[in-house]
Amino acid sequence: MTTTQPGPVATVRRLRATLDTIADALASARLDSLLTAETELASVVAHLPSIDDVPDEGERTALQDELSRAAAALTRCRRLGESLGHFVHCSLLAQGRAGGYDRSGHETTHAQVGALNVRG
């Protein structure tokens, strides 16, 4: 029994759906959904078609439309990921647990504090 691969448009649609799942997981801080979507993303990316594999002009147009939607979903993932990274950094900074690097590339850590220092 042989199984046929989905067409290029369906594959890219699956990519977009996976990216939407990732974005939703990032927006709602659902680690389990994020990890599940990571596996799906790897599978989809492994089967992405080349535009050269799509000889039909109508299918190429549909593929380009779906690729545009997938690009928008990827942009949403990037923005949500950056926002989450900033949130985590600010949370760690507020707890006195944030670290970083100085100009020479040496790791720095902030001393533990019980409260935020505020000048009055």
Write the pLDDT tens digit of every residue in 80-105. Answer: 999 988 888 888 878 777 766 667 76
pLDDT at 4: 66
Dihedral of CA 48/64/6/59: which sign? Answer: negative
In a domain, 112, yes or no: no
Q: How many C-beta atoms lie closer than 10 Å to residue 23's C-beta?
A: 21
pLDDT at 120: 46
In a domain, 79, yes or no: yes
Q: Enumerate residue ranges in the chain where pLDDT < 70.
A: 1-4, 99-102, 105-120
For 60, the domain range is 8-96
Dihedral of CA 44/75/89/91: which sign? Answer: negative
In a domain, 106, yes or no: no
In a domain, 25, yes or no: yes
Q: Is 41 exposed, middle or buried (0-12, 13-18, 19+ CB in 10 A)?
A: middle
In a domain, 75, yes or no: yes
In a domain, 104, yes or no: no
**Could you give the number of structural domains in the chain?**
1
In a domain, 58, yes or no: yes
Rounded to an integer, what distance in angstroms lies between the CA atom of residue 35 and that of residue 116?
34
Rounded to the nearest 5 degrees, what angle is found at the Cα of 69, between the Cα atoms of 21 and 86?
55
Type and span of the H or E element at 108: strand 107-109
pTM greater than 0.95 (yes/no): no
In a domain, 109, yes or no: no
